[in-house]
Amino acid sequence: MKRICRMIITLCLPLLLCSPVMAQHSGPYIGISAGGNAMLDAKSDDSQGEFKFTFKPALQGSAVLGWDFAPGNPVGEGRIELEYTHRSNQLDEVTFAEGTFKGAGDVKADSLLINFFGVYPDKKNWVPYFGIGLGVARIEASDLKVTGQPLATGSDTVFAYQLGTGVDFPVTKNLNFDLGYRFFGSLRPELTEATGQKFKMDYFCHSVVLGLRVGF
């Protein structure tokens, strides 16, 4: 994860130092982003008690369709967008009361959020922003195993949200690079153990992303 963050910062540093000041875009835009996703340890519980999943960091990808508000808009400076994101983290370890054991399989999340971002333009070559997203996520346990034995499967669709902050680097009026941080979370999905018993787990993650938006 640290290596991914260093790579993204290195790619954006020339934009921070050299990008010219551009007029703000207003109107529709499309965009894509990619970055590193670190899923937090997931506390889980069933009728027998509590256990914990630990996951490996992974990459994530997003696509957005949005609208930049014109400067002086009564609702404020910023943008609104519809964002689809795919995340998938490999299960590393499972901790029970008896101890910690090797895990395998993936937990995947496909989310669809409406994001609201406020921007703070100034006479600079970069623009800070902060915002919130609300929507839904389909979270899937894909062939989870512990010590090689089947552990859990299934999927659930739950309410999801995210907080985001970062900086935009205008390259032209219609082209922006975005270096951002996202905290993503959801209500606890209900999944199915190999025995047929239901359990619920936490889903929270930190992400550092590099994005590209094109206005038209």
3 or 191: which leads in pLDDT: 191
The arithmetic mean of pLDDT across residues 156-179, rounded, is 95
pLDDT reported for residue 169: 92
pLDDT reported for residue 183: 98
52: its two tokens: 């914990």
pLDDT by residue (tens digit) across 15-36?
444 444 455 788 999 999 999 9
**Which residue is associated with the tokens 């600079």?**
124
pLDDT reported for residue 1: 55
**Which residue is associated with the tokens 């993503």?**
184
pLDDT reported for residue 21: 46
22: its two tokens: 């551009």
Mean pLDDT of the chain: 90
**What confidence tier does 3 reach under pLDDT thresholds 50, 70, 90?**
low
pLDDT reported for residue 151: 96
Q: Which residues contact 125 (CB under 8 A, 6 or more apart)?
A: 15, 16, 17, 18, 19, 20, 21, 169, 170
3-state secondary structure 36-87: EEEECCEEEEECCEEEEEEECCEEEEEEEEEEECCCCCCCCCEEEEEEEEEE
The arithmetic mean of pLDDT across residues 200-210, rounded, is 98
The structural domains of the chain, ordered by start, are 2-215 (2.40.160.20)
> Is the pLDDT assigned to residue 194 strictly greater than 60?
yes
pLDDT reported for residue 19: 44
pLDDT reported for residue 14: 47
**What confidence tier does 173 reach under pLDDT thresholds 50, 70, 90?**
confident
Q: How far is the C-alpha of 168 from the C-alpha of 179, rounded, in Å?
A: 7
CA 25 vs CA 81, 117, 166: distances in Å: 14, 14, 18
Q: How far is the C-alpha of 142 from the C-alpha of 127, rounded, in Å?
A: 39
108 neighbors 140 (Cβ within 8 angstroms): yes
The arithmetic mean of pLDDT across residues 133-153, rounded, is 97
As a whole-number percent, the residues of the chain with pLDDT over 90 amount to: 78
β-pairing, 127-146 with 149-153?
antiparallel
99: its two tokens: 């101890």
62 neighbors 85 (Cβ within 8 angstroms): yes
pLDDT reported for residue 17: 45
DSSP 124-169: SS-EEEEEEEEEEEEEEEEEEEETTEEEEE-EEEEEEEEEEEEEEE
Could you tell me the pTM of the whole model? 0.87
> Is the pLDDT assigned to residue 11 strictly greater than 70?
no
pLDDT reported for residue 76: 74
pLDDT by residue (tens digit) across 86-113?
999 999 999 999 999 999 999 999 999 9
pLDDT reported for residue 73: 75
**What confidence tier does 6 reach under pLDDT thresholds 50, 70, 90?**
low
